[in-house]
Amino acid sequence: MVNYKDLGLVNTREMFKKAVAGGYAIPAFNFNTMEQMQAIVQAAVETKSPVIMQVSKGARNYANATILRYMAEGAVAYAKELGCKNPEIVLHLDHGDSFELCKDCIDMGFSSVMYDGSSLPYEENIKISRQVVEYAHKYDVTVECELGVLAGVEDEVASEVSHYTKPEEVIDFATRTGCDSLAISIGTSHGAYKFKPEQCTRDPKTGKLVPPPLAFDVLHEIEKKLPGFPIVLHGSSSVPQEEVDTINKYGGNLPDAVGIPEEQLREASKSAVCKINIDSDSRLAMTAAIRKYLAEHPDHFDPRQYLKPARENMKKMYIHKIVNVLGSDGKLG
Ligand code: G3H
Ligand code: 13P
Ligand code: ZN
């Protein structure tokens, strides 16, 4: 049993309280590779932002759970080496799909876990969420649960259509589970194809898809029911069109990829939304930089040559999100 406090990590409790009161959101960036970890830490240190580094079940399968845990421990040491005296880094399990997976992460030093029972019947979701909360709280690990279904792929759970969170259920759910934060469905979705073309309109000038707006009315109803309670948005990549265009220009094929407009995420950050999950934008930033570099340097084959601009591009994107979208810069301490 490893306690996250011994690794220099923090849970989300204080972080979220301050974010809700201060009208900003904490970035939750997924990581699978060393370059993503380095870019996240560099961005957080340079902007003096707290940060959540999250690991999906897929990331554990790809990179190995132990390695990712040591990378998070290394992230704390790296942040200090970069000059940050008291980094606030959360190591979070993203979309945990069983009590056992959540327990395994808690036992190996995660400071926060998500139990995602959103695809289960309501009572079953409450039952397992409650079990995870009871175990996690013994070790002062915070727990995110989910109510409502996002369209798209949620790790191993795929859903064609989204079901908005029902505001009339949130008090009962939060009370009976004892969760520390609640992920809700208000129109975001996972991946780089968040909406089908038929759900969007088209910008007549650019020909690009314009997605339907988020359901702010549902968010505000939920806030009224649970004043000050930390709310989480998944599926919040904005799928920057310049990255999509670069990928397509250099041999990729991502037609009609579309995300959540950043102004809407900025708006949500000012409310009780205090954690915003971004994964796909990091994948796009990395892939765009690598495709461009390799197309321009066909004779290069040292991974460090193309991973360096990839890391730089991800860092630029993380800084942009922190400063211009979530507003968590300067909020350390
Ligand atoms: O919500 C899903 C995250 O983007 C993680 O994706 O399961 O492919 O690692 P992944
Ligand atoms: P995106 O696919 O929009 O980046 O969402 C990531 C996410 O919600 C991780 O849990
Ligand atoms: Zn998610």
pLDDT at site 160: 57
The pLDDT of residue 304 is above 90: yes
Closest C-alpha to ligand 1, atom 4: 279
Phi, psi of 217 (to 5 degrees): -65, -40
pLDDT tens sequence across 51-87 = 999 999 999 999 999 999 999 999 999 999 999 999 9
249 and 271 Cβ atoms separated by less than 8 Å: no
pLDDT at site 154: 43
Burial 30-68, CB ≥16 within 10 A → b, else e: bbbbebbbbbbbbbbbbbbbbbbbbbbbebbeebebeeb
Closest C-alpha to ligand 2, atom 9: 277
Q: Residue 149: beta bridge partners?
A: 163
What is the Cα 231 distance to its own chain's centre? Answer: 13
pLDDT tens sequence across 140-161 = 999 999 999 997 654 444 555 6
pLDDT at site 161: 60
CB of 279 within 6 A of ligand 1: the answer is yes
Ligand 1 atom having least distance to the Cα of 62: 9
Closest C-alpha to ligand 2, atom 1: 235
Name the average pLDDT for the chain.
Answer: 95
DSSP state string for 117-146: -TTS-HHHHHHHHHHHHHHHHHTT-EEEEE
pLDDT at site 122: 97
Pocket-testing residue among 60, 153, 233, 287, ligand 1, by greatest number of atoms within 8 A of Cβ: 153
CA–CA separation, 204 and 153 (whole Å): 30
Q: How far is the CA of 297 from the centre of ligand 2 (A)?
A: 31
CB of 190 within 6 A of ligand 1: the answer is yes
User: Which has more confidence, 196 or 288?
Assistant: 288
CB of 59 within 6 A of ligand 1: the answer is yes
CA–CA separation, 136 and 150 (whole Å): 25
**Reported pTM:** 0.96
The pLDDT of residue 165 is above 70: yes
Kindly state the percentage of the chain with pLDDT values over 70: 97
pLDDT at site 232: 98
Across 104-108, average pLDDT: 98
The pLDDT of residue 131 is above 90: yes
CB-based contacts of 138, cutoff 8 Å, min separation 6: none
pLDDT at site 152: 65
48 is written with which tokens? 């003096």
pLDDT at site 157: 46
Q: Hey, what's the torsion of the CAs at 37, 106, 28, 184, to 10 degrees? A: 160
pLDDT tens sequence across 11-61 = 999 999 999 999 999 999 999 999 999 999 999 999 999 999 999 999 999
183 and 233 Cβ atoms separated by less than 8 Å: yes
Contacts 24+ apart (CB under 8 A), 124-128: 125/173, 126/173, 126/176, 126/177, 128/98, 128/99
Kindly state the percentage of the chain with pLDDT values over 90: 92
Q: State the CB neighbour count (10 A cutoff) for residue 305.
A: 12
Specify burial of residue 255 (Cβ count, 10 A radius: 0-12, 13-18, 19+): exposed
CB of 154 within 6 A of ligand 1: the answer is yes
pLDDT at site 155: 43
CA–CA separation, 35 and 39 (whole Å): 6
CA–CA separation, 260 and 37 (whole Å): 24
Confidence grade of residue 209 (pLDDT, cut at 50, 70, 90): confident
Q: State the CB neighbour count (10 A cutoff) for residue 231.
A: 25
Pocket-testing residue among 243, 277, 283, 284, ligand 2, by greatest number of atoms within 8 A of Cβ: 277
The pLDDT of residue 231 is above 80: yes
pLDDT at site 333: 83
Indicate which residues carry an active-site annotation: 94
Ligand 2 atom having least distance to the Cα of 190: 2
Q: How far is the CA of 276 from the centre of ligand 2 (A)?
A: 9
Across 157-177, average pLDDT: 85
Pocket-testing residue among 155, 193, 233, ligand 1, by greatest number of atoms within 8 A of Cβ: 155
Start-to-end Cα distance in the chain: 28
